[in-house]
Chain A
Amino acid sequence: EAGVAQSPRYKIIEKRQSVAFWCNPISGHATLYWYQQILGQGPKLLIQFQNNGVVDDSQLPKDRFSAERLKGVDSTLKIQPAKLEDSAVYLCASSSLRTSGRPINEQFFGPGTRLTVL
């Protein structure tokens, strides 16, 4: 089966500009996650969707970050305006509640988008 797709893979912008990232999860996965991974750190959850509803956005800087998953499939994460400290890799992941012999809600990650803010 196809994995989690993300685009673009790399993005360089200047501070105060806007940027958007796109994610297409594994087919049939109801849960979608956006993580921010700053260099030298582990990923930090920004927002979690269950179908098209938000489950957890407690660590999303809502003054500049927004995310949507309108049809319960693909998702867009936007930053407006960007700051220098937003430079990071943005990872999208998806999971399914079906067990199929694997951990429930095992998360499958996409390749990430590396954002550089100058």
Chain B
Amino acid sequence: AQKITQTQPGMFVQEKEAVTLDCTYDTSDPSYGLFWYKQPSSGEMIFLIYQGSYDQQNATEGRYSLNFQKARKSANLVISASQLGDSAMYFCAMRGFTNKLIFGTGTLLAVQP
């Protein structure tokens, strides 16, 4: 069975500093994809970044980067230079052979001025 674990219910970070949100996963599928989504208080899920299991390099998208450690089954999200608008829930998700997205329980990030 596939499982996503996010062990940080909440995180604080000072504006302009970097923050790492943890995500570990479990799957028996040989090929899979890992996603991070942001959910602000408005409720919409916003796609941030994607990492394929066979991708050789860690994914980056602007201020977002994904620290992918396949052997440890971890896919941590790093946000550099945090901004007040980054305050939101962040969800890690995995897509396996069935194409279904499995989400973690999320991490609430609060950026402090």
Contacts and interface: CB of A to CB of B under 8 A. Distances in A.
A44 B103 CA distance: 7
A30 to B, nearest CB: 12
A34 B55 CA distance: 29
Interface in A45-65: 45, 48, 55-56
A106 B103 contact: no
B38 to A, nearest CB: 11
A16 B42 CA distance: 28
A43 interface: yes
Interface of A: 33, 40-45, 48, 55-56, 89, 91, 93, 102-103, 105-112, 114
11 contacts: A42-B103, A42-B104, A43-B91, A44-B103, A45-B101, A48-B100, A91-B45, A103-B52, A107-B47, A107-B101, A109-B44
Q: Name the 9 nearest CB pairs between A and B, nearest first.
A: A42-B103, A109-B45, A103-B50, A112-B43, A111-B44, A43-B103, A42-B91, A45-B100, A42-B104
Interface of B: 4, 33, 35, 37, 42-47, 50, 52, 91, 93, 95, 98-101, 103-106
Given A48-B100, A91-B45, 20 more contacts: A41-B105, A42-B4, A42-B106, A43-B45, A43-B101, A43-B103, A55-B99, A89-B43, A93-B45, A103-B33, A103-B50, A103-B52, A105-B99, A106-B35, A106-B47, A108-B47, A109-B44, A109-B46, A111-B42, A112-B43
